[in-house]
Chains A and B, each alone.
Chain A
Amino acid sequence: MTKRVLIVDDAVFMRMKLRDILEKNGYEVAEEAENGQDAFDKYQATKPDLVTMDITMPEVDGIEALKLIKSFDGNAKVVMCSAMGQQGMVMEAIRAGAVDFIVKPFDTDRVIKALDKALS
């Protein structure tokens, strides 16, 4: 079955790019969210197989959102999207239960490998 992904990023541009990568590689985009709160709401509404979660977002950031989603669904698979220089935050996300992380700028192969592994 096609795996459904919730894309979370505050930059429209990044969301579009990620959607493009996913759709061209056999994933379905369940929903897009532009901040952490939005992500949590949409996670509950769409129950996706996987979430790609940007770390730095206004209001509710990716780590908060990850925690919210994890508390709602302990089996949630969340892959963090980080920029260089966010080691600390990535560590925190891993501790909070992120399955993997991908580093921007996105490289199609890398993204798909990480997602395949996270869902296997």
Chain B
Amino acid sequence: MDDNSVYRNLFFEESDDNLQKLNDDVLELESEPENIDLINEIFRAAHTLKGMSATMGYDVMTKLTHKMENLFDFFKSGKLMVTSEYISLIFECLDKLSQLVEDLRNDKELSEDQIGELLEKLINVEKSVDGTATVEAKSTDSKDKELTIVLSNSDDADTDTVKKARAQGYNAFTVAIRIDKESMLKGPRAFLIIEHLEQEGDVIYTEPTADLLENGEFDTDFKLIYLTKGTQEQVEANINSNSEIDTFIVEEFDSSKSISDNEQAETAKPSGTAKKIPKKANTEATKKKEDNKASKHQNAARNQSIRVDLSRLDLFLNLVSELVVYRNQLDDANRRNAATEVKDSLEQVSRLTSELQDLVLKIRMQQVSVVFSRFPRMVRDLARELDKNMELIVEGEETELDKTVVSELSEPLIHLLRNSADHGIENTETRRKFGKPEKGIIKLSAYQEGNQVNITLEDDGKGLDPQVMKESAESKGIDTTGMTDDELINLIFHPGFSTAKTITNISGRGVGLDAVMAKINDLGGSLEMKTELHVGTKFVIKLPLTLSIIQALMVRVAKESFAIPLDVVERVVMIQEKEIITSMDKEVVEYQEGLIPVVRVDKVLGLKNEENAKQFAIVVKSDKQYFAVLVNELIGQQEIVIKKIDAIIQKINKFQGATIFGNGSIALILDVNAICQGKLAKN
């Protein structure tokens, strides 16, 4: 039939989005089982998913989404309470769906067997819900019945109205309509038909009542009394203009017929007073309008976006980076030659380049929530799997990082999270014994500090025991003689080291923390661990905010120029050599009523420096502590493009990279964090 292959990619992208949304929302639903708006959202996403897979002709996927959707329908109608068992079942479905999508992506044929087990579970749930069976039975019943036109509840007032109307030249008809049994949204369908009729007359009575009709709470048939100046043919044409009608009958209104039936049916059903349809519809309409407003707002809040191939963005970034370099050269040349006629336009070019550069960096930025969002679900599953009581708290998920960094972040973080859940958090019994709260807390937070983003993962679990580490290391043939506790603990980063006593499904699959470390280093970041026995473990990942362009303070040390990333700079102060205080063999200087360590760049880098009388102290913040970095001269503030440097120079751990100046010369970018932390370690 249709050649759907062109839609495939779109289908995959939209399916991924919807599955992620469902995962998020269902997780939220577990904590707010009563939230009807949320259930509606979920229902909508599930429905879209079903619609898309049906359109693509992926029957197996459609079947599963359909059954899953039924479950949401039960939640919606209140027939089923949201419990964590059902939530787990839904998650199973979502996982299966992701897998099906993945299979489709790999051009694998789907088979019914893949979903058989889940379908059975879902059908069992359906069976357990009272009423479903009866509802279905009822609808099959009526399919076989003939459409009849006998009214059961109209009363004398209707007959009187018809008499009066006829006196004024109106025709009165009894109309019975059967909507297609496959028609969806029966309520609006009936409403639309009645709306069309009312354009040429008045509906004075309906069966079932108007509110039941509007809510779609009828099977396929409904009846009405219609007053119009038109002829029977016109009425028939009017009804015929609607779509999705199976059959209909239009007859002259016959009061005797309905009254006799009325008496007959009176005991069976309470009488409905549906005479004033328009009025009733209006009041309900205003109510619904208000409801709609809320959901409309939600939709407006959703950002509009397009997808762009990342390689194009990379190219864009490269071009802008080059533009920045030449802009700086131009600025430089202009300053020297001071040609006034180009000065103004150059200033504009300069400004525009900066804006362009900001923009391209912003375009490439992505919130870490892209990665974080799947973790609460993961921890929930881990908790159930390990039979431990734990919760993940996520903070700062709106923190942004370069897209390339964000997308690489997921794997190492999953590894660390699994570690915390498996090895960190103790089981409830142990926690009780140590007097800890029964629920273990894993806290994942991200925040920006200077031109880097810190991501911390902290658990209140058992922490690392140096002695256990030592035994474990020795059993693996790692030599631990003369190691301090710190060194023992850091063995966790040793290749192939795993402290798990047994290999579980969750962690300890041979990939150790060394892999995590390597990954983070690849991203230009660093990984640190702080641990305390029985208190918990904290991992700190520091990542560069962007990979390419930064604001820098250019400085001179001895005869060399260096760049210091401006983001770490707190303040610059001029100090005399004599202001530096030496205590023990540490040099400190007074800053804001405290003493902060002094870092002599010339000494750190082994440069010969003769002008020490007057210097500038660049006060920088590293790991929440201030340092005074001494330089000889401030050259100025500049935007620089970070170029990668040779791996050997990088290993020295003192430079972040290099940059090319406007005049073509090269300057190294100081890795202030590494230098300051190195200084601390030495002390």
Chain A contact residues, CB within 8 Å of chain B: 11-13, 16-17, 20, 35, 56-59, 61, 63, 82-92, 94-95, 100-101, 103-106, 110, 113-114, 117-118, 120
Do A12 and B10 have beta carbons less than 8 Å apart? yes
Query: CB distance A110 to B244 under 8 Å?
Result: yes
Say whether B592 faces chain A, with CB atoms less than 8 Å apart: no
Which listed residue (A11, A94, A103, A118) contacts B191, Cβ 8 A? A94
Question: By the criterion CB–CB under 8 Å, are A59 and B304 in contact?
Answer: yes
Cα–Cα distance between A61 and B244 once the two chains are bound (Å): 25
Nearest residue, chain A, Cβ from B13 = A13
Check A92 against B50 for contact (C-beta < 8 Å). Answer: no
A89–B185 CA distance with the chains assembled, in angstroms: 11
Inter-chain CA distance A104–B189, complex, in Å, is 14
Contact between chains at A35 and B304 (CB < 8 Å):
yes
Smallest CB separation, B55 vs chain A (Å): 5
- B300 close to A88 (CB less than 8 A): no
Interface string of B236-269 (1 = CB under 8 A from A): 0000011110000000000000000000000000
Interface of B is mostly: helix
B2, CB-defined interface residue at 8 Å: yes
Check if B47 is an interface residue, CB within 8 A of chain A: yes
- A57-B299, A87-B185, A91-B214 given as contacts; is B10 within 8 A of A16 (CB)? yes
Q: Which of B184, B185, B187, B243 is in CB contact (< 8 Å) with A113?
A: B243
Beyond contacts A58-B302, A101-B188: 11 other A-B pairs, Cβ-Cβ < 8 A, are A11-B14, A13-B52, A59-B304, A83-B47, A84-B184, A92-B289, A94-B191, A94-B195, A101-B185, A114-B243, A120-B241
Compute how far the CA of A59 lies from the CA of B299 in the bound complex, rounded to whole angstroms.
7
Please, how many angstroms separate the alpha-carbon atoms of A113 and B54 in the complex? Answer: 20
Closest partner residue, chain B, to A117 (CB atom): B243
A46 to B297, CA, bound (A): 29
Complex-state Cα separation, A110 to B303, whole angstroms? 32
List, in ascending order, chain B residues with CB within 8 A of A91's CB: 187-188, 191, 214, 285, 288
A107 to chain B, nearest CB (A): 9
Q: Of the candidates B2, B14, B47, B291, which one forms a contact with A20 in the assembled complex, judged by CB atoms under 8 Å apart?
A: B2
CB of B572 within 8 A of chain A? no
List the B side residues contacting A63 at CB < 8 Å: 292
* Distance to closest chain B CB from A66 (angstroms): 13
A104 touches B51 (CB 8 A): yes
Q: Of A85, A87, A94, which is within 8 A of B43 by CB?
A: A85
Instruction: Enumerate chain A residues within 8 angstroms of B300, measured Cβ to Cβ.
Output: 58-59, 61
Q: Name the distance in Å between A102's Cβ and chain B's nearest Cβ.
A: 8
Separation of A81 and B345 alpha carbons in the complex (Å):
52
Complex Cα spacing A101 to B191, Å: 11
Interface string of B429-443 (1 = CB under 8 A from A): 000000000000000
B472 within 8 A of A: no
Partner of A88, one of B11, B48, B192, B291: B291
Which of A56, A87, A105 meets B54, CB within 8 Å? A105
Tell me, yes or no, whether B215 is within 8 Å of chain A by CB: yes
Residues of B near A16 (CB, < 8 A) are: 6-7, 10
Contacts of A17 in B (CB 8 A): 7, 55
Minimum CB–CB distance from B511 to chain A (whole Å) comes to 38
* Complex alpha-carbon distance, A59 and B300, angstroms: 4
Interface assignment of B296: CB less than 8 Å from any CB of chain A: yes
A106:B55 contact, CB within 8 angstroms? yes
Of A58, A92, A114, which is in contact with the most chain B CB atoms at under 10 Å from its CB? A58
| B287-339 CB contacts (< 8 Å) to partner A | 288-289, 291-292, 295-296, 299-300, 302-304
The interface centre, meaning the residue of A61, A84, A103, A106 with most chain B CB atoms within 10 A of its CB, is A84
Q: Which chain A positions have C-beta within 8 A of B296? A: 61
6 pairs, CB–CB < 8 Å, chain A vs chain B: A56-B299, A58-B302, A85-B76, A87-B214, A91-B214, A100-B192
Q: How far is the CB of B48 from chain A (nearest CB, A)?
A: 7
**Is A101 a contact of B285 with CB atoms below 8 Å?**
no
In Å, the complex CA distance between A63 and B525 comes to 49
- Determine the chain B residues whose CB is within 8 A of the CB of A12 once the complex forms: 10
Q: Within 8 Å CB of B285, what residues of A? A: 91-92, 95
Q: In the complex, what's the smallest C-beta–C-beta distance from B86 to chain A, in angstroms? A: 19
What is the chain A residue whose CB lies nearest that of B284?
A91
The answer on a CB contact under 8 Å between B195 and A95 is yes
Residues of A within 8 A of B289 (CB): 92
Residue from B51, B291, B303 in contact with A83 in the complex, judged by beta carbons closer than 8 Å: B51
Q: Output the least CB separation between B669 and chain A (Å).
A: 42
Asked if residues A85 and B40 are in contact (CB atoms below 8 Å), the reply is yes
Interface pair A88/B299, CB less than 8 Å apart: no
Inter-chain contact A87/B216, CB cutoff 8 Å: yes
Judge whether A89 and B292 touch: CB under 8 Å: yes
The CA of A76 and the CA of B302, in the complex, are separated in Å by 29
A90–B215 Cα distance when bound, in Å, is 12
Complex-state Cα separation, A88 to B293, whole angstroms: 11
CB-based nearest A residue for B52? A13
Q: Which of A57, A86, A106, A117 contacts B242 (CB under 8 A)? A: A117
- Chain B residues positioned under 8 Å from A104 (CB to CB): 47-48, 51
Ranked nearest first, the 7 interchain pairs of A and B with the lowest CB-CB distance are A105-B51, A90-B188, A88-B288, A103-B184, A114-B243, A13-B10, A105-B54
Evaluate contact between A88 and B304: CB separation under 8 angstroms.
no
Q: Does B380 contact A (CB under 8 A)?
A: no
Instruction: Give A105 to B366 CA distance when docked, in angstroms.
Output: 32
Query: Do B188 and A87 touch across chains, with their CB atoms under 8 A apart?
Result: yes
Contact A82 B11 (CB under 8 A): no
Among B192, B216, B302, B303, contact of A101 (Cβ-Cβ < 8 Å): B192
Does B44 make an interface contact (CB < 8 A)? Answer: yes
Residues A117 and B241 in contact, CB atoms below 8 Å apart: yes
- B623: min CB distance to chain A, Å: 42
C-beta contact mask, B572-589 vs A, less than 8 Å → 1, else 0? 000000000000000000
A17 to B, closest residue via Cβ: B55
Nearest chain A CB to B13's CB is how many angstroms away?
Answer: 9
Which residues of A are found within 8 Å of B76, using beta-carbon distances? 85
* B299→A61 contact, CB < 8 A: yes
User: Quick check: A94 and B243 within 8 Å, CB to CB?
Assistant: no
Instruction: List, in ascending order, chain B residues with CB within 8 A of A90's CB.
Output: 185, 188, 191
The answer to whether B244 and A114 touch across the interface, beta carbons within 8 angstroms, is: yes
CB within 8 A of B185: which of A82, A92, A117, A120? A82
- In the assembled complex, which residues on chain B have CB atoms less than 8 Å from the CB atom of A110? 243-244
Q: Considering only CB atoms, which chain B residue lies closest to A34 in the complex?
A: B304
Shortest CB–CB separation between residue B212 and chain A, in angstroms? 13
Report the bound CA distance from A86 to B185 in whole Å. Answer: 8
What chain A residues lie within 8 Å of B10 (beta carbons)?
Answer: 12-13, 16
| Complex contacts, B11 vs chain A, CB 8 Å | 13
What residues of chain B lie closer than 8 Å to A13, measured between beta carbons? 7, 10-11, 14, 52
Give the CA-CA distance A100 to B192 in the complex, in Å. Answer: 7
Q: Which residues of B contact A106 (CB under 8 A)?
A: 51, 55
Which B residues lie within 8 Å of A86 (CB)? 185
Alpha-carbon distance A107/B242, docked complex (angstroms): 17
Complex Cα gap A110–B184 (Å): 11
In whole Å, how far is A64's beta carbon from the nearest beta carbon of chain B?
8
